[in-house]
């Protein structure tokens, strides 16, 4: 029983760490901007947060620095893709390389240094006493609790508000919004920066959440899994949650299976989440019967008033 509880609660922690990035990317792609640099931004968020935590021992400040890092990188990305209308794939790769390199460069001094400061698990009174569900859902850290609210808010925002309607239109046909007097450029800037901040928080989940250290390239493809999940979930935060939980479960399964099947090489378990991502991604996004996909029509197309 304790095994199942630790497996599921581990799955939840893993899921949340990719969901921040996933929801950020969802908003960004809904706005028509494909940000391939998720992994780089996550790493930058992880390293700046951790560095601040080590040097100031102030968790709130560290979190603010994470938000700030995300915002700055988002601003750079928005400038390149919206103002300069550059190719978004190329920009994403540049962001990825930049983030990976800079995070490794900056984080050299704190690699292997213990911060002893993280988002501690807080047991919620009464709720955490419920058998099975309590320890899984209500003995987590603040970042996980926040996610319980972010998903419904995101769903409500995208599908039930006037702003959400505009957001969806922004990714489908920005020219319509422009004709309606909306500032397409400002809106895209806003959503890119929001998305990027969320990706940076994902990084903080990795370095200041369940695991509490920094090593170069520590996100190990989580940013890409988040990116894959967005298309996998049809740009819907609720499906994203389900997908993330599934992947969290698969990747935590390895350590549990290892106890029962010690003869299987551990590499098989570490490869599981990646294999699962590829297979699930092909099955979910494959165009097997010319079906309609939910991909925003203008995704990765720069908006140019001249070529309207």
Question: How deeply is 138 buried, as exposed, middle or buried, from its count of CB atoms within 10 A (0-12, 13-18, 19+)?
Answer: buried
Least distance CB 242 / other proteins (angstroms) = 18
Least distance CB 15 / other proteins (angstroms) = 18
Q: Are 42 and 219 in contact (CB under 8 A)?
A: yes
Interacting span for other proteins (CB under 8 A) from 4-12, 58-66, 80-88, 179-187: 80-88
Cβ-proximal residues to 62 (8 Å cutoff; 6+ apart), any chain: 49, 50, 52, 53, 56, 117, 204, 208
Least distance CB 287 / other proteins (angstroms) = 4
Interaction of residue 228 with other proteins, rule CB under 8 A: yes
Least distance CB 131 / other proteins (angstroms) = 37
Residue 223 is encoded by which pair of tokens? 């940013």
Interaction of residue 16 with other proteins, rule CB under 8 A: no
Let me know the angle formed at the C-alpha of 28 by 190 and 65, rounded to the nearest 5 degrees: 60
| Interactions with other proteins, residue window 168-187 (CB under 8 A) | none
Q: Which is nearer to other proteins, 20 or 232 (CB)?
A: 232
Q: Are 47 and 207 in contact (CB under 8 A)?
A: yes
Least distance CB 113 / other proteins (angstroms) = 14
Residue 131-170 contact track with other proteins, rule CB under 8 A, x = bound: ----------------------------------------
Q: Are 49 and 207 in contact (CB under 8 A)?
A: yes
Residue 25 is encoded by which pair of tokens? 């990317």
Interaction of residue 286 with other proteins, rule CB under 8 A: yes
Interaction of residue 58 with other proteins, rule CB under 8 A: no
Report the 10 Å Cβ neighbour count for 241. 24
* C-alpha distances in Å from residue 14, one per residue of 8, 9, 267: 10, 9, 19
Interaction of residue 215 with other proteins, rule CB under 8 A: no
Which residue carries 């908003």 as its tokens?
Answer: 27
Selected binder of other proteins within 131, 181, 262, 265 (CB under 8 A) = 265
Size of the site for other proteins (CB under 8 A): 49
Interacting span for other proteins (CB under 8 A) from 159-167, 179-187, 252-260, 266-274: 266-274
Interaction of residue 271 with other proteins, rule CB under 8 A: yes
Which residue carries 């996933």 as its tokens?
Answer: 22
Q: Most distant CA pair in the chain: distance in Å?
A: 65
- DSSP code for 264: S
Least distance CB 174 / other proteins (angstroms) = 18
Strand partners for 123:
139
List interacting residues with other proteins (CB under 8 A).
Answer: 36, 40, 76, 79-80, 84-87, 89-91, 93-106, 108, 216, 220-221, 224, 227-228, 231, 265, 267, 270-271, 274-275, 277-278, 281-282, 285-288, 306
């Amino acid at each position: 029983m304790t095994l199942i509880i630790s497996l599921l609660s581990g799955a939840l922690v893993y899921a949340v760490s990719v969901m921040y990035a996933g929801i950020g990317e969802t908003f960004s792609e809904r706005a028509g901007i494909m940000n391939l640099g998720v992994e780089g931004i996550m790493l930058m968020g992880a390293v700046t947060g951790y560095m601040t935590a080590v040097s100031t021992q102030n968790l709130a400040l560290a979190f603010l620095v994470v938000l700030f890092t995300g915002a700055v990188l988002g601003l750079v990305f928005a400038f390149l893709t919206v103002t300069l209308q550059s190719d978004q794939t190329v920009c994403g790769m540049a962001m990825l390389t930049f983030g990976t390199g800079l995070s490794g460069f900056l984080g050299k001094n704190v690699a292997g240094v213990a911060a002893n400061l993280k988002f501690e698990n807080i047991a919620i009174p009464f709720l955490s006493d419920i058998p099975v569900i309590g320890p899984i859902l209500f003995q987590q850290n603040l970042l996980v609790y926040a996610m319980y609210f972010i998903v419904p808010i995101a769903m409500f925002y995208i599908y039930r508000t006037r702003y959400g309607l505009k957001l969806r239109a922004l990714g489908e046909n920005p020219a319509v919004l422009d004709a309606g007097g909306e500032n397409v450029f400002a809106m895209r800037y806003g959503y890119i920066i929001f998305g990027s901040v969320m990706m940076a928080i994902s990084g903080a989940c990795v370095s200041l959440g369940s695991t509490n250290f920094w090593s170069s390239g520590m996100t190990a493809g989580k940013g890409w899994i988040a990116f894959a999940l967005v298309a996998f979930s049809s740009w819907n935060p609720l499906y994203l949650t389900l997908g993330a939980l599934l992947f969290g479960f698969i990747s935590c399964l390895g350590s549990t299976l290892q106890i029962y099947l010690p003869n299987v090489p551990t590499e098989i378990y570490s490869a599981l989440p990646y294999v699962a991502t590829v297979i699930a991604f092909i099955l979910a996004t494959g165009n097997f019967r010319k079906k309609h996909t939910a991909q925003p029509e203008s995704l990765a197309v720069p908006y140019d008033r001249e070529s309207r």
